[in-house]
Amino acid sequence: MVNKKSTYAVFENSGKELHFEIIAIPELNEGEILVRNIYCTLCRSDLNTFIGKRTEKAPTILGHEIIGRIEAFGPNAPQTDMRGHELKIGDHLTWAIYASNPSSYYSLKGLPQKGVDLFKYGHEQITMTSNLHGGLSEYTILRRYTPIISINKKVPNPVAALINCSVATVSGAIRLAGNLDGKTVLVNGTGMLGIITCAMVKKNGVKNIIAADSMRARAEKARDFGADYVLTAGESETMKRDLLAVAPGDSQRIDVVFEFSGTPESMESTLKMLDIGGIAIWIGATFPQRDIVLNGEYLIRKLLTIKGLHNYNDQDLLHAVNFIEQYHNTFDFNSLVYDRFSLNEINEAFRYGLGENPFRVGINLIDKR
């Protein structure tokens, strides 16, 4: 018997403030774990949903960049995490954005984020039988088939919260790029994912990191996370000319582009920045947009590869946790989270995120302020 209540913030539609509801926490089902949410950061997709730039099932509980601590185990709940560590009440957890049956068609192909009957935290509709599935809540019920990892409590909460969307997605992007040893990479769009990419590829053997953003100050910030050269994002010819002015010789030969801005113009222009044999990884474009203009002969003669990534898989989450546990003191990720809001100030937090555009707005779900 759980015998607790949970307050949660309800999103109904864009243009409407979130409101609070309280529910008696239901009995846990087979394989479920009850988690007391500790900290949630507002991902760009949460902000986009809030303003109607993308559409989610509603009413819903937003928030999927989140950590929590184990409060209770349901019948036959997992006793160990993905690393084989025993799970105990009070452990700090991160979990995948999805619960996905590991024996389904896409899971078996290594794409659990597209599995049949996929369940996505922070993206599900509130119904009579399904609730407490988003971060903007005191509690979350982790469903069966959720990849779970117990994390080192030394990692600051705002940084640990970044793991299960930003850092794990970047892990997936780096996996798709393949061996980065001695390569030159362009990171286009230095919001949270772009910044984390700079830090991760820096520890992955790359030779040069070029960071670009349409907002120059954001691109400059990437220097603190390993970027060697900084550009203002724009037309490919302008970017090439600017790169020529700052980067010597072979450092202008770009092997890999990580494209996070998601605009068709950026995907088109950065594709033209690639050297022969280059790889473009497209991650940012998760909202409705026009078609890309692409010349097939150009693609073929330059031997280019384009790969798209949406979310990530179990192994990407594991690499994300390992990376943050090892390097959370090497890079100042804490400085990227504006850490001033609690759950009861959630509408102010969204307005702050949209108006001031910090890398992330953090929501402290435990301490009252």
Distance of alpha carbon 359 from alpha carbon 162, whole angstroms? 11
Closer residue to Zn ion in complex, CB, 18/243:
18
Closer residue to Zn ion in complex, CB, 167/174:
167
Cβ contacts of residue 223 below 8 Å, gap of 6+?
Answer: 211, 230
User: What's the closest the beta carbon of residue 43 comes to Zn ion, in angstroms?
Assistant: 3
User: What's the closest the beta carbon of residue 347 comes to Zn ion, in angstroms?
Assistant: 20
Distance of alpha carbon 15 from alpha carbon 116, whole angstroms? 32
User: What's the closest the beta carbon of residue 191 comes to Zn ion, in angstroms?
Assistant: 11
Residue nearest Zn ion, Cβ-based: 43
On whether the CB atoms of residues 211 and 258 are closer than 8 A, the answer is: no
On whether the CB atoms of residues 197 and 167 are closer than 8 A, the answer is: no
Indicate the Cα dihedral angle 303, 226, 335, 91, nearest 10°: 80
Closer residue to Zn ion in complex, CB, 165/167:
165
Closer residue to Zn ion in complex, CB, 165/274:
165
SS3 227: coil
User: What's the closest the beta carbon of residue 28 comes to Zn ion, in angstroms?
Assistant: 26
Q: Which residues in this chain contact Zn ion in the complex, by CB under 5 A?
A: 43, 45, 165
Closer residue to Zn ion in complex, CB, 45/188:
45
Structure tokens given for 340: 């001033």
Considering just the CA atoms, what is the radius of gyration of the chain in Å? Answer: 21
- Token match 């073929």: residue? 300
User: What's the closest the beta carbon of residue 164 comes to Zn ion, in angstroms?
Assistant: 9
